[in-house]
Chain A
Amino acid sequence: MTEVPAQLPLNIRWNDAASLEQFVAGANGRALAAVRQLVAGPGAPAVYLYGPEGVGKSHLLQAACRACGHLGLPSFYLPLASAWSPAMLDGLESMRLVALDDLQELAGDPGREEAVFHLYNRLRDTGGGLLMAATARPADLDWVLPDLASRLAWGLVERMEPLDDASLLQALRLRAERRGLDLPEETGRYLLARYPRHSHALFALLERLDRAALAEQRRLTIPFVKSVLGQR
Chain B
Amino acid sequence: MDGAVWQYCLERLEGEIPDQQLNTWIRPLQAVEDASQLRLLAPNRFVLDWVREHYIARIEELVDQHGAGRARQVILDIGSSGSPATAGRKAPTSVAPQQGAGVVSSSNINPRFTFDTFVEGKSNQLARAACTQVADNPGGSYNPLFLYGGVGLGKTHLMHAIGNVMLQKNPNAKVLYLHSERFVGDMVKALQHNAINEFKRHYRSADALLIDDIQFFAGKERSQEEFFHTFNALLEGQQQVVLTCDRYPKEVDGLEERLKSRFGWGLTVAIEPPELETRVAILMSKAAQEGIDLPDEVAFFIGKRIWSNIRELEGALRRVIANAQFTGSPITVDFTKEALKDLLALQDKLVTVENIQKTVAEYFKIRVSDLLSKRRSRSITRPRQLAMALSKELTSHSLPEIGDAFGGRDHTTVLHACRKVVELRESDPRIAEDYANLLRTLTT
State A66–B11 Cα separation when bound (angstroms): 11
Q: Which residues of chain B from 85 to 134 have any CB-CB distance to chain A below 8 Å in the complex? A: 85-91, 108
Q: Are B68 and A1 neighbours in the complex by a CB distance under 8 Å?
A: yes
When distances are taken between beta carbons in the complex, the residues of chain B under 8 Å from A153 are: 311-312, 315
Instruction: Identify which of A9-17, A166-174, A179-187, A194-202 touches chain B.
Output: A9-17
Are A91 and B3 interface neighbours, CB within 8 A? no
A206 to B138, CA, bound (A): 67
In the bound assembly, the distance between CA atoms of A78 and B115 in angstroms comes to: 38
Whether A87 sits at the interface, judged by CB under 8 Å, is: yes
Judge whether A90 and B43 touch: CB under 8 Å. Answer: yes
Q: Are A127 and B322 in contact (CB under 8 A)?
A: no
A158 touches B319 (CB 8 A): yes
Chain A residues, Cβ within 8 Å of B346: 139-140
Q: For chains A and B in complex, what number of residue pairs have CB atoms within 8 angstroms?
A: 167
Query: How many angstroms between the C-alpha atoms of A146 and B19 in the bound complex?
Result: 34
Picked from A30, A78, A95, the residue with its CB within 8 Å of the CB of B84 is A95
Which residues on the A side are within 8 Å of B66 (C-beta)? 1
* Cα distance, A69 to B66, chains bound together (Å): 19
CB distance from A39 to the nearest CB of B (A): 12
The B-contacting residues of A in range 39-96, CB under 8 angstroms, are: 41-42, 44, 62, 65-66, 68-69, 71-79, 85, 87-92, 94-96
Whether A33 pairs with B322 at a CB distance below 8 angstroms is yes
Contacts of B368 in A (CB 8 A): none
- Tell me, in angstroms, the Cα distance from A76 to B22 when the chains sit together: 9
If A6-B15, A71-B89 touch, does A76 touch B312 (CB 8 Å cutoff)?
Answer: no
Q: Tell me, in angstroms, the Cα distance from A72 to B6 when the chains sit together.
A: 10
Chain B residues within 8 Å of A155, by CB: 315, 318
Q: Determine, out of A118-126, A210-218, A220-228, the stretch whose residues face the partner at the interface.
A: A118-126
Residue A162 lies at the interface, judged by CB distance under 8 Å to chain B: no
Spot the interface stretch: B27-35, B248-256, B375-383, B421-429.
B27-35
Interface size on A, residues (CB 8 A): 66
Is A208 an interface residue when CB atoms closer than 8 A count as contact?
no
Is there a chain B Cβ closer than 8 Å to A99's Cβ?
yes
Q: Write the nearest CB–CB distance from A120 to chain B, whole angstroms.
A: 10
Is A22 at the interface (CB under 8 A from chain B)?
Answer: no
Interface size on B, residues (CB 8 A): 63
A150-B44 Cα distance, complex, nearest whole Å: 27
Q: Which residues of B contact A42 (CB under 8 A)?
A: 85
In the assembled complex, how far is the CB of residue B334 from the closest CB belonging to chain A, in whole angstroms? 18
Cα(A150)–Cα(B85), bound, Å: 24
How distant is B272 from chain A, measured CB to nearest CB, in Å? 15
Asked whether, in the complex, the Cβ of B319 is within 8 Å of the Cβ of A91, the reply is no
Q: Is chain A's binding surface mostly helix, strand, loop or mixed?
A: mixed
Q: Counting CB contacts under 8 A, is B216 at the interface?
A: yes
Q: Does B168 make an interface contact (CB < 8 A)? A: no
A126–B83 CB distance below 8 A: yes
The answer to the question of B14 belonging to the interface, with a C-beta cut-off of 8 Å to chain A, is yes
Q: Once the chains bind, are B19 and A62 in contact (CB under 8 Å)?
A: yes
Cβ contacts under 8 Å, B152 to chain A: 150-151, 154
Bound complex: CA A92 to CA B80 (Å): 9
B236: interface (CB < 8 Å): no
Indicate if the CB atoms of A151 and B311 lie closer than 8 Å.
yes
Contact bitstring A96-127, B, C-beta under 8 A = 1, else 0:
10010000000000000010001001000111
B84 to A, closest residue via Cβ: A96
State which of A4, A121, A127, A146 has its C-beta within 8 Å of the C-beta of B179.
A121
Q: Is A163 an interface residue (CB 8 A)?
A: no
With an 8 A cutoff between CB atoms, is B314 at the interface? Answer: yes
Residues on B lying within 8 angstroms of A by beta carbon are 3, 7, 10, 12, 14-20, 22-24, 27-30, 42-47, 65-66, 68, 78, 80-91, 108, 150-152, 179, 181, 213, 216, 246, 308-309, 311-312, 314-315, 318-319, 322-323, 326, 342-343, 346
Name 21 A/B residue pairs within 8 A (Cβ), A-sorted: A4-B65, A8-B16, A30-B323, A44-B318, A69-B10, A69-B27, A74-B30, A74-B84, A76-B24, A85-B46, A87-B46, A91-B42, A94-B30, A99-B23, A118-B181, A126-B85, A128-B85, A146-B246, A149-B151, A156-B315, A157-B319
A residues with CB within 8 A of B: 1-4, 6-9, 12, 14, 17-18, 29-30, 33-34, 41-42, 44, 62, 65-66, 68-69, 71-79, 85, 87-92, 94-96, 99, 114, 118, 121, 125-128, 137, 139-140, 146-147, 149-151, 153-159
